[in-house]
Amino acid sequence: MIHIPPGPTTLPRVDDAELAARCDRALDAALREGFSGLIVWGRGSTNSDGSQDLLYLTNHMSAVSHIPDSEAHRARGHAGLILSPGHDPVLVTDSYDLDRSEVSLPDIRLSTFVDRDVARAASELGLKGARIGLAGRAGLLHDAALMMASELGESTTLEPADHILKSLRLIKSPHEVALLREASRIGCDWMSVCLAATEPGRTEGEIVGEGLRWLAASGGFAYDIAVASGPVGHRYRHRQALPTWDSHRRLEAGDMIHFDLWGPVAHGYYCDLTRSTVVGSAPSSSQARVLEDSISLVESVIAEIDLGRPLSDLHEAGTHAMRQLGGGESDFSAMIPFFGHSLGLDCEAPFITSYATEIIRPGMVLAVECFLGGGPGEGGGFEHVLHVGETEVEILTSSSPARPWA
């Protein structure tokens, strides 16, 4: 087995000046749309779901466990940012052990009633009775939204404004691109550790464990590891439960196996890549077709990337390739009904679908992926992350071999 030393990023986090500029741009965009201010909500808890808009503006997410509301607390594991013209941003969070060197906002308020106190801070900043944009709704619980609306009163309107942060986050700054290069470097090494541990006689759980041990030492956090092998290799995940991997069946020579690895690994910025292989032997002819077709499809989509084109053109290219290659009618393929997405602080919108109207521009970072199914036990996925530059497309995941079985 190869040995890859752990390699945390040595780059600094996004600095305070860039974070402040993001808050200014978010508020300016809200004001241009007729909002009086902006509330940006974030769910943290023990995963990164629903925290990214808040993290993008503040470098903060609550790491407190999400627990049911009670008389003693509300909206635990959440935080909210209020942006109002003429005032400093206000962050309300339940993270009492917050590191102020990492979150340098001048006005941070600690609370165990987060939703109530976000609304009260908004009122204090002159937003009661106003039209307020609400972003970060993916992490907003219904009860918390009702509490904020009640505290702000019937004359206040809270309206969806997620599109403001989606637009800001789509084009990466130079430092974000550098962090995403680092994230892909870490992700590629993580994948190498998993593939090196993929041997006959081992379980998926043992292989995943090797990867997680290395990732933790490299400063990363696994959102998930989607893996399936052997008789269920045609599935995206072995189990539809936690953990999603199997720890009982031992791999046999000739089994197909694939890994889709993703998570925040470089100051919150994500890696995301998929590789497939055959355990302990060369692929059969039918296995080789699935493996090669998944690579060909991704490469055909990447070949269509050009400045000024809509993302829907990439979906059309992927659909055309899938018609030619086959394998797109399986449940495995149906599990991922797109050909990729933006990548940053998570697997971000927009997704590469037939409805995507966003125009390809410099500064985008995209993950292009596909999953194809064959016969029973046959499934192959492939994924590259790329940066769209002024003159070229830079593949960030090229250090992970496309054909690990070769």
Does 200 lie in the same domain as 154? no
Residue 49: the pLDDT is 82
143: domain CATH number?
Answer: 3.40.350.10
Classify residue 219 as exposed, middle or buried by CB count within 10 Å of its CB (0-12, 13-18, 19+): middle
Instruction: With respect to residue 6, please indicate whether it lies within any of the assigned structural domains.
Output: no
Does 155 lie in the same domain as 178? no
Q: Which of 138, 169, 200 is the C-terminal boundary of a domain?
A: 169
Which alpha helices (H) appear in 155-230, and where do they start and end? 162-170, 174-196, 204-217
Residues 270/347, Cβ–Cβ less than 8 Å: yes
Instruction: With respect to residue 176, please indicate whether it lies within any of the assigned structural domains.
Output: yes
Residue with token string 């991922």:
336
Residues 77-111 have pLDDT tens digits of 999 999 999 999 999 999 999 999 999 899 999 99
346: domain CATH number?
Answer: 3.90.230.10
Three-state secondary-structure class, residue 279: coil
Q: How far apart are CA 90 and CA 82, in angstroms?
A: 5
DSSP output for 384-405: EEEEE-SS-EEETTTTS-S-TT
Residues 244-285 have pLDDT tens digits of 999 999 999 999 999 999 999 999 999 999 999 999 999 999
- Domain of 32? 16-169
Average pLDDT, the chain: 95
Does 133 lie in the same domain as 199? no
Residues 186-236 have pLDDT tens digits of 999 999 999 999 999 999 999 999 999 999 999 999 999 999 999 999 999
The helix/strand count (H/E) of the chain reads as: 10, 14
Does 218 lie in the same domain as 126? no
Look at the chain and report how many structural domains it folds into.
2
Q: Which of 111, 146, 169 is the C-terminal boundary of a domain?
A: 169
Q: What pTM value is reported for the model?
A: 0.95
Query: Does position 331 have pLDDT exceeding 70, yes or no?
Result: no
